[in-house]
Structure 1
Amino acid sequence: MTRRWNYDVFLSFRGEDTREGFTSHLYKALCDKGINTFIDDKLHRGERISKELIQVIKSSSILVIVFSENYAESKWCLDELAKIVKCNKKDPEVQIRPVFYNIDPPEIRNQKGNFGKSLAKHEKKLKNNKNKVQRWRDALRKAAIASGWHYKKGCATYKSESDFIQNIVEEIANAKVNLTQLYVAEYPVGINSRVEDIESLLDIGLDEFCVVGIHGLLGVGKTTITKAVYNIIANCFDGSCLLENVRENLGIDAGIIKLQEQLLNDILGNGNWRVGSKFRGIILVK
């Protein structure tokens, strides 16, 4: 059964930084593309995140967070981000996609520069509620390691800000078609603790290549755990693929070619790769 979302995209941002510029242009571009987008200044802002807003977050497929220079100054933004990360943890189908707008991702991950200063100020004011600030710190790290988009004025990667926005819109439009969670199990009893153990071993966010081996007797749940982990971490990368039945396919050339084509098509996302021979496939994968 295909899950139905109320919104394709939920936009979270600091209004004072980007409402009248970047975010409004991004919102219009998404809507023009036919992407049903919720912009979070439609709801009344109080001291706490309302149940209505939390429900909107839960019912949105892709949660786009626009990180700007002064984002961490806003306690409202940090509270909203913490709710977004919590929703993603409970339901991996809800995806987090950060936009780093004139801010470098390591500044958020490591909480340096303006982000470090703002959090330090919050800690002074909230001496009796250190857990709240820690939740904000954890949420910032979690969101900042997800696969997203980075724009800095003067950078040669994009011709202009509008070119950058168009790139985001095209990726989201493709994601609407291509993003499908893997079926794990009808009754995944006792799987969460094992998934968390694997996730901690992978330590996503470090700029290192990591391999984790899962071994055990036939039928103990290795593939089930693998698929559950994949569903959680796939959106941390620009491309992802889960190759099944590798041993069975490695015995014949047709099987190897099948694996090579799946790897290329899943990661690159266009579905047009044809390998032809396993030796050509080796070169294409490289």
Structure 2
Amino acid sequence: MYTIVTSTSNSIPFTNLVLKKKKCNSSRSQTISPFSRIAARRSSLPPFDVFICHRGVDTKRNFCGLLYQDLVEQKVIPFLDCKSMKPGEELNEAIETALRDCKVGVTIFSPNFCNSENSLHELASMMEYQKMVIPIFYDVNTSDLVLANDGSFPTKQLHRFGWALEMAKRRVGISFDSCKGDWSDLLKKVSNRVVEILKELEDEEKNSAAI
């Protein structure tokens, strides 16, 4: 770029026009957005093996926490919102990524499960992604899993959630009574089945790669 600089002199009755080239700094400072750093950190994490879908008010402080710890001890990477995320992280983005990338879903159906749009969305997403889902019927029977058609959910979502529930009911699940059941036995059953499925999926990937 150029700018016009004028210079005057007592001996010269006219103004001299001088062309002076401005120095341009070609090296522009690049600022890294904090959102880019968060996205980079999230993308660098290994995919979660298991997504734990639950209704927090029913099971977050008991079964879900115990299951999470048991899976970690078995070298499995589980996703549980209260354990797998840090304060300040974008909640929906992290959950959607975990739903898409997980290999197995564990869905804990509990008395208040069908009242939660978030829980139902997570279940529907796993069914749409065709994940292997292990249903756990925690203090409920399959007949208790009914959506209230009272306007709580949009019509489109109501059909989607209903479809996901019916798909889950068709799968072999594990029933548990929190008052009479054996907690250690439940944890063992669920963890062992998760590990078994992961091993089967790993073998399938190896066989496909060898072909």
What TM-score, normalized by structure 2, do the two folds share? 0.65
Which aligned runs of 4 or more in structure 1 are off by greater than 6 angstroms? none
Q: CA RMSD in A?
A: 2.6
Instruction: From the CA coordinates, give the structure whose radius of gyration is larger.
Output: 2
Instruction: Decide which moves more: 143-152 or 58-67.
Output: 143-152
Structure 1 partner of 2:150: 124
2:183 to 161, 164, 167: 161
Q: Note the C-alpha offset of 1:52.
A: 3.4
Give the structure, 1 or 2, with the largest relative contact order (CA under 8 Å, sep 6 or more). Answer: 2
Deviation digits for residues 210-268 of structure 1 (CA, Å, limit 9, x no counterpart): xxxxxxxxxxxxxxxxxxxxxxxxxxxxxxxxxxxxxxxxxxxxxxxxxxxxxxxxxxx
Of the three residues 197, 200, 209, the one matched with 1:175 is 197
Following superposition, the deviation at residue 69 of structure 1 comes to 1.2
Whole-Å separation in 2 of the counterparts to 1:24 and 1:152: 17
1:130, distance to aligned residue in structure 2 (A): 1.4
Matched ranges for 1:217-232 at <5 A: none
Unaligned runs of 5+ in 2: 1-45
* CA distance in structure 1 between the partners assigned to 2:188 and 2:110 by the alignment: 19
Answering whether residue 101 of structure 2 is matched by residue 59 of structure 1, we say: yes
Percent same amino acid among aligned pairs? 22
C-alpha distance in structure 2 between counterparts of 1:40 and 1:7, whole Å: 12
Match in the other structure for 1:85:
127
Gaps of 5+ in 1: 89-93, 108-112, 186-286
Equivalent-residue separation in structure 2 for 1:76 and 1:11 (angstroms): 13
Aligned residues: 156
Q: Does 1:50 align with 2:85?
A: no
Distance (whole Å) between structure 2 residues aligned to residue 43 and residue 134 of structure 1:
30
Deviation at 1:145, TM superposition (A): 1.6
In structure 2, what is the Cα distance between the partners aligned to 1:126 and 1:173?
Answer: 37
Quote the Cα distance in structure 1 between the aligned partners of 2:75 and 2:150: 45
Paired residues of 1:12 and 1:40 also in contact (CA < 8 A): no
User: Structure 1 residue aligned with 2:161, among 136, 149, 164?
Assistant: 136
Structure 1 or 2: more strand by fraction? 2
Secondary structure class of the residue paired with 1:21: helix
Task: Note the C-alpha offset of 1:124.
Answer: 2.2
Q: Is the 8 A contact 2:99 2:122 kept in 1?
A: no
Partner of 2:39: none
**Take 1:43 and 1:30, find their aligned partners in 2: how far apart are those partners?**
17
